[in-house]
Amino acid sequence: MIGSIVGAGLGAVGSIFGGISASKAMKRVKRGLEEQRKENRDWHDRRYNEDATQRADAQRILSLTEEQIRKRNRAAAGTAAVMGTGTEAAAAEKSANNMALADAAGRIEAQAEARKDRIEEQYRERDSQIDGALMNLEAQKAGNVAQAVQGVGQAAAGIAAAF
């Protein structure tokens, strides 16, 4: 009789201890997931709000375009001086060059918008994965609580049966 009371008591203590250990482990996992969520948000904010014109690839495109424009402007001015054409031809060339620069900037902006869309998609996907992991953790926690309660209930039934 005392053996079954002690056995039931140990079962209850084991269930409680196991529940406490699992709870601590789950808290660590939850903190890790919340840290991942914060890092994901920081990554998103940093990348999403970058100035597209300051990126190295955009700067290279703008620099090459501006260099080509300078060359064409010099050539147009030289041609105008040699041929004796008025400033109208040089002005037309400069206008075309300015449109080329505006076109390059427009392409950079379009690429930037597409990039922002990809960043937003990646962020939402990662955030959804973290949400799923947190929901699974809560479900597991609920299952562990139910299991601990069941173990304590069984232990209590064992003690009552011993009397």
Task: State the SS3 of the chain.
Answer: CHHHHHHHHHHHHHHHHHHHHHHHHHHHHHHHHHHHHHHHHHHHHHHHCCCHHHCHHHHHHHHHHHHHHHHHHHHHHHHHHHHCCCHHHHHHHHHHHHHHHHHHHHHHHHHHHHHHHHHHHHHHHHHHHHHHHHHHHHHHHHHHHHHHHHHHHHHHHHHHHHC
Q: What is the domain partition of the chain in residue ranges?
A: 2-162
Decide if pLDDT at 138 tops 90.
no
pLDDT confidence band for 157 (50 / 70 / 90): low
pLDDT surpasses 90 at 123: yes
Q: Which residue has the higher pLDDT, 12 or 70?
A: 70
Segment 41-71, tens digit of pLDDT:
999 999 999 888 888 889 999 999 999 888 8
- pLDDT 10s digits, 81-103: 777 766 677 778 888 888 988 99
Q: Given this model, what pLDDT does residue 96 score?
A: 87
